[in-house]
Amino acid sequence: MIGLPEAVPLWAAIPVSLLLVLAGILGLVGTFGLVRLSNFYQRLHGPAMLNTLGAGSVLIASMLYFSVLQTRPVVHELLITIFVLLTAPVTTMLVIKAALFRDRRASRGDVPEDPTLAGGRVTGQREE
Amino acid sequence: MTVLLLHWAMGFATLAFALSGIFAGIRLFRGPTAQDRVVALDVLYQSAMLLMLVLGMRFGTQVYFEVSLLIALVGFVGSIALAKFLLRGEVIE
């Protein structure tokens, strides 16, 4: 009727279901924060829940489900896990840099000044 | 019993990720600045990727995994390109 296989035992169905429900709740909360929060820099914190723990839960659930279903270890979801964990911070850092640049350029006032322009001594800066 | 449990859990996850995409679409539509829209697009492709994974579990095939991997790769390149455009496009102007 539903189309799901009967071969999945209960000890595997319970963690898969729990992980899926957890990931769904995390995704809902994170993106609801993306809609509801008032500031751009606050809004960046919502999707991080979807990125890290939500994606991890779905990928672990998928690995467990297909491993039990095919009675062999299925680990190729680790590719997506590693890729998401590597790329999400890069994207966030670049977007934050762009947003800081644009806000400073528009002189919005609620963004702190560039420390290299304020005359402060900045350590660890790269020469280009 | 286990079939029903998995059915409801996967249905909930599908609905939740679809609703996440709708929320990201709202922010994409109404975001006041361009960087808001870039972040919303980022979240949109990520929720689509997770939705593809859940659908792959639901239908029991591995095809959706490849779709999901492709969405992750192409979406990352798109987000990086948009962020670099926001950074450099105005420097040149």
Quote the ipTM score. 0.87
Least confident piece of the model among A100-109, B11-20, B32-41: A100-109
B93 touches chain A (CB under 8 A): no
The whole-angstrom separation of Cα A102 and Cα A97 is 9
Q: What is the pLDDT of residue A8?
A: 79
Q: Say yes or no: A80 contacts chain B, CB-CB below 8 A.
A: yes
Look up residue A11 and give its two tokens: 């000890």
> Is some CB atom of chain A closer than 8 A to the CB atom of B68?
yes
Question: Chain B partners of A27 at a C-beta cutoff of 8 Å?
Answer: 16-17, 20, 47, 50
| Region B65-89 average pLDDT | 89
Say whether A98 and B20 touch across the interface (CB within 8 A).
no
Look up the domain containing B21 and give its range: 2-92
H helices within B60-93, ranges in order? 63-92
Question: Is-contact A40 A46, C-beta < 8 A?
Answer: no
| Cβ–Cβ pairs < 8 A, chains A and B | 170
> Cβ of B57 and A30 within 8 Å?
no
pLDDT value of residue B93: 45
Mean pLDDT of chain A: 84
Please indicate if any CB of chain B lies within 8 Å of the CB of A33: no
Q: What is the pLDDT of residues A45-92, one digit of tens each?
A: 988 889 899 999 999 999 999 999 888 888 888 999 999 999 999 999
Q: Do A66 and B20 touch (CB under 8 A)?
A: no
Report the b/e string of A82-116 with b at 16+ CB within 10 A.
eebeebbeebbebbbebbbbbbeeeeeeebeeeee
User: What pLDDT score was predicted for residue A29?
Assistant: 93
Q: Please count the structural domains in chain B.
A: 1
What are the tens digits of pLDDT across the range B27-42? Answer: 999 878 888 999 999 9
By the CB < 8 Å criterion, does B90 face chain A?
yes
Look up the CATH number of the domain holding residue B44: 1.10.287
Residue A117: C-alpha distances to residues A43, A85, A100, A121, A122 (Å)? 27, 33, 14, 10, 10
Single pTM value for the model: 0.86
Task: Check CB contact of A65 with chain B, cutoff 8 Å.
Answer: yes
Residue contact B54–A44, C-beta within 8 A: no
Q: What is the pLDDT of residue B67?
A: 92
Cα gap A98→A96, rounded to integer Å: 5
